[in-house]
């Protein structure tokens, strides 16, 4: 189906595109991947992957969607024919379903810890995951994602991102101010910004850097292609995507400046792994003055970053 709806403004398109890139991958995944790959040694490969892999794919996907004025399935049907069009059109849906199978689960965890913030304390992740509570919050996260998607591009993603993105950045800077005032700031920033040459030259570091760049981009998932289908013909796609890439990368780097000083201040391992936000940080917030309040801001940030992220990933009509 040809898409007749259009973005209400260039700002709405930019913020929704940033919302499709910024999410748990920046704030939850980026710091722990950096920590597991040598801190500063990860940054150069990541930035190279951004320029050589991520940005060209972003531009190409949006341009393809605008050219054929459709979502992935309809766009590929217009560009190809027969079995190839059906296969290429269904591939992004398969990727979305695979990612959503765990992404909404993690999003539910974030909402659960946000809810715990209002009670002034956090239970351990083991205690939380050993109950039926994650299932309830999974349902809440799924319902929120589907509701935003059902509202459409203008009433759903565009409107939500216009509110969420500025608030997201504001909360990040509040957390940054606190993090840079903690005793572990020197050690944390040294780990984060000082490259280990042996790890920079390690092919594994480059593999993780490339995968993180592509994960944050959501390459091949059809989200940016769908956004492109709603784009007006005179939009500067390369310029817009450079702006999106800069915003996305800035937020990811900012997350590292927040997480690592806190991690070193409280004696946790920089290589904690995927549980960093759900095991380490709740314990940190529990031990701080006004910790639950700050923790609430942190998990609100993660919630706002996650909610709009997949909003049009499966909207293919």
Tokens of 132: 């039926």
Q: Domain range spanning residue 99?
A: 11-306
- The rounded mean pLDDT for the chain is 79
Residue 21 lies in a domain: yes
The per-residue pLDDT for range 16-40, each reduced to its tens digit, is 777 767 777 888 889 989 988 888 9
Residue 312 lies in a domain: no
Among 170, 172, 154, which residue's Cα sits nearest to residue 311? 154
Residue 198 lies in a domain: yes
| Percent of all residues in the chain with a pLDDT value above 90, rounded to a whole number | 15
Please state at what angle helix 203-217 crosses helix 40-49, rounded to 10 degrees.
60
**Secondary structure letter of residue 132 according to DSSP:** S
Among 163, 189, 210, which residue's Cα sits nearest to residue 46? 210
Among 299, 249, 231, 269, which residue's Cα sits nearest to residue 48? 249
Quick check: pTM over 0.85? Answer: no
Residue 5 lies in a domain: no
Contacts of 34 (CB under 8 A, 6+ apart): 42, 43, 192, 256
Residue 286 lies in a domain: yes
Q: Structurally, how many domains does the chain consist of?
A: 1
Q: Regarding predicted confidence, which is higher, 88 or 192?
A: 192
Phi, psi of 235, rounded to the nearest 5 degrees: -70, 135
Q: For position 36, which CATH number holds?
A: 1.10.4160.10
Calpha distance 89→72 (Å, rounded): 5
Residue 243 lies in a domain: yes
Calpha distance 148→161 (Å, rounded): 11
Tokens of 80: 């190809």
The per-residue pLDDT for range 218-258, each reduced to its tens digit, is 666 777 887 887 777 777 888 888 888 888 899 899 989 98
Residue 139 lies in a domain: yes
The per-residue pLDDT for range 38-57, each reduced to its tens digit, is 889 999 999 999 899 888 88
Residue 3 lies in a domain: no
Tokens of 184: 């572990």
């Amino acid at each position: 189906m040809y898409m007749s709806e259009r973005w209400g403004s260039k700002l709405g398109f930019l913020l929704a595109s940033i919302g499709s890139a910024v999410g748990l991958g920046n704030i939850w995944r980026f710091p722990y991947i950096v920590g597991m790959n040598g801190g500063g040694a990860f940054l150069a490969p990541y930035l190279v992957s951004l320029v050589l892999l991520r940005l060209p794919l972003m531009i190409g996907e949006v341009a393809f969607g605008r050219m054929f004025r459709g979502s992935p399935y309809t766009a590929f049907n217009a560009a190809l024919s027969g079995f190839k069009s059906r296969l290429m059109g269904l591939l992004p849906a398969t990727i979305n379903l695979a990612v959503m199978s765990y992404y909404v689960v993690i999003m539910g965890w974030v909402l659960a810890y946000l809810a715990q913030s209002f009670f002034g304390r956090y239970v351990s992740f083991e205690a939380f995951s050993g109950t039926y509570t994650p299932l309830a919050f999974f349902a809440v996260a799924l319902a929120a994602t589907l509701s935003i998607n059902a509202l459409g591009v203008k009433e759903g993603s565009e409107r939500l991102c216009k509110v969420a993105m500025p608030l997201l950045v504001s909360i990040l800077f509040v957390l940054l101010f606190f993090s840079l005032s903690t005793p572990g700031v020197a050690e944390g920033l040294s780990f984060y910004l000082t490259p280990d040459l042996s790890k920079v030259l390690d092919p594994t570091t480059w593999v993780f850097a490339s995968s993180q760049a592509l994960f944050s981009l959501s390459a091949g998932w059809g989200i940016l292609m769908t956004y492109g289908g709603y784009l007006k013909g005179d939009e500067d796609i390369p310029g817009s995507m450079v702006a999106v890439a800069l915003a996305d990368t800035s937020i990811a780097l900012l997350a590292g400046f927040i997480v690592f000083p806190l991690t070193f201040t409280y004696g946790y391992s920089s290589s904690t792994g995927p549980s960093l936000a759900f095991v380490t940080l709740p314990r940190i917030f529990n031990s701080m003055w006004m910790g639950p309040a700050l923790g609430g801001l942190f998990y609100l940030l993660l919630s706002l970053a996650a909610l709009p992220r997949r909003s049009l990933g499966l909207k293919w009509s």
